[in-house]
Amino acid sequence: MLIYPFILSLYPCICGGVDLFCIKNGFKYLNDEINSEPHLEEAVTQTKWLKQKVDHFNTTDQRNWKMRYFERLSYWKLNGPIYLFLGGESPASARWAETGIMYELAKETNGALYVSEHRYYGESRPLNGTDAEALKYLSARQALADNAYLLKYLKRFSNYKRSKVVVVGGSYSGNLAAWMKLLYPGLVDAAIASSGPILAKTDFYEYLEKVSDNYEQYGTKKCLRTIKKIFKRYDKLMQSSEGIKILKNEQNICEKCDMTVPENQYLFFSYKVGEFMSVSQYGTTERIKSHCKSLQNESIPRIPLEESARNNCTCYDFDEMIEGFYTEGNEWIISWMYQTCNELGLFATTSSDEQPFTNNMPLKFNIKMCHKLFGPDFDEERVNRGVAAVNDLYGALNPNVTNVVFSNGDLDPWSTLSILEDLSYDAPAIVIPRASHCRDLYSNRDGDIEEFKEARKDIKNLVKKWIGAKLET
């Protein structure tokens, strides 16, 4: 539910001069969906603030800022566990304390519910600004230290002295859950790491390979061949002025948009590929098959007219893609871009031949975006250094952890960077058939396949076993 630009999905929606940038980012998508869940009872979650250090690793830096978090104590009883949902790459949502697997665990074990907001997202901003200097204190390690301080602060209260601590996260915050258990084993007793791309990687070509596999396995018989044909045609039309004229007419692209510019072509292909990415990352096998049928019924797939109307567009302008980030309220997007450029990589590219989308989303455009956003130091070598440092610090696909459950849906392209086999008896992996990104974090719904329900039950029982609570039968 990870990632691009999580990327947790770089999926731009461009309208009339690049005034709108829609990035289907994993944690943002999760929060939007959890916020749409029906309210089963009156909300009793409180907003709290905690003073944090700007730099936890510099004893001479005494600057502070206020971190936002949410608290719910409706079900807590003395010595009950503390559950902390770790904020990820978007503003945090109190709804994680009101529905979902963590809420159910707290209700069943008399636990206290907390949700933290990640530094530099939402209202939790150590420093203002969107340049590299302002964002230099944005990292997973600093965010983990923020959450560790929050837990230590809570444990100071006598009522929590004997409380076990469980951290929960999905997508990038799934990484954080596992890494909290790694760096703070004496503080954290158990962790749920859902759909976390534990392996940092610059060129994340496996993402689109998985998308291709999904459409081949669950789509209609000729679907993959149809997709290849569509994108080869796009690629061919881009090669000539006459072809670009045809493409502009078909796709309702603004006349002033110069589609000979490589960056604009990259943005067009990102948009078109994004539709397939979204279905794979958040959809179902039925949605994949339905998407395939729609492709076969339409000889020239176009940008949907209803989307154009919704965005108040008369045409689509794939132009000046960097400037599109600088719209009011998009600070969290810049923050996530900084994390991908500085330490995580996770750039979904078309560099593999095992995908049908042609090679029009190469790594160089992601690196160019890093360069333009954060300065000339952010070249490919800089990104690779950051990725290597993260993998060295946290152990890549072999973190030395116990009492962590790694869960993934086997449709999810992010699972290709996650842990899919047990690391040990106390660090198991659960792979949910026909499931997408972070679906296990929600409560059971009507229509959920049995594999979802069983996986959620297994995850809860693992946590209960690790904290000494009564298991669900």
Distance, in Å, from the CA atom of 285 to the CA atom of 290, rounded to the nearest integer, reads: 9
Backbone angles phi, psi at 216, to 5 degrees: -70, -40
On the CB side of 208, CA atoms within 13 Å amount to: 31
pLDDT for residue 37: 63
Provide the residue ranges of all domains of the chain, joining segments of one domain with +: 1-219+324-473
Amino acid at the residue 414? W
How far apart CA 444 and CA 65 sit, in angstroms, is 38
**Residue 13, pLDDT score:** 42
Would you call the peptide bond into 192 cis, given omega within 30 degrees of 0 as the criterion? no
Torsion over CA of 311, 317, 318 and 322, rounded to 10 degrees? Answer: -80
Low-confidence stretches of the chain (pLDDT < 70) are 1-43, 298-314, 320-330, 473
Residue 23's pLDDT is: 39
Inter-CA distances, 2 with 84, 196, 291, Å? 19, 7, 22
For the record, the structure tokens of 362 come out as 């190469």
Residue ranges of alpha helices (H) inside 238-342 are: 241-251, 262-282, 285-296, 305-310, 331-339
Kindly provide the residue ranges of all beta strands, DSSP E only, lying in 301-444, ordered along the sequence. 345-347, 404-409, 429-432
For residue 441, the model assigns a pLDDT of 95
For 431-471, write each residue's pLDDT tens digit: 999 999 999 999 888 878 888 899 999 999 999 999 999 88
- The predicted structure's pLDDT at residue 2: 44
**C-alpha–C-alpha distance, residues 180 and 394, integer Å:** 10
Q: What is the pLDDT of residue 298?
A: 63
Neighbours of 443 (CB within 10 A): 15
Cα 309 to Cα 23: distance, rounded to the nearest angstrom: 19
Nearest C-alpha neighbor of 21 from the set 34, 5, 8 = 5
Whether cis (ω within 30° of 0) applies to the bond prior to 5 is: yes
pLDDT at 16: 39
Q: Which CATH architecture has domain 1-219+324-473?
A: 3-Layer(aba) Sandwich (3.40)
pLDDT of 327: 52
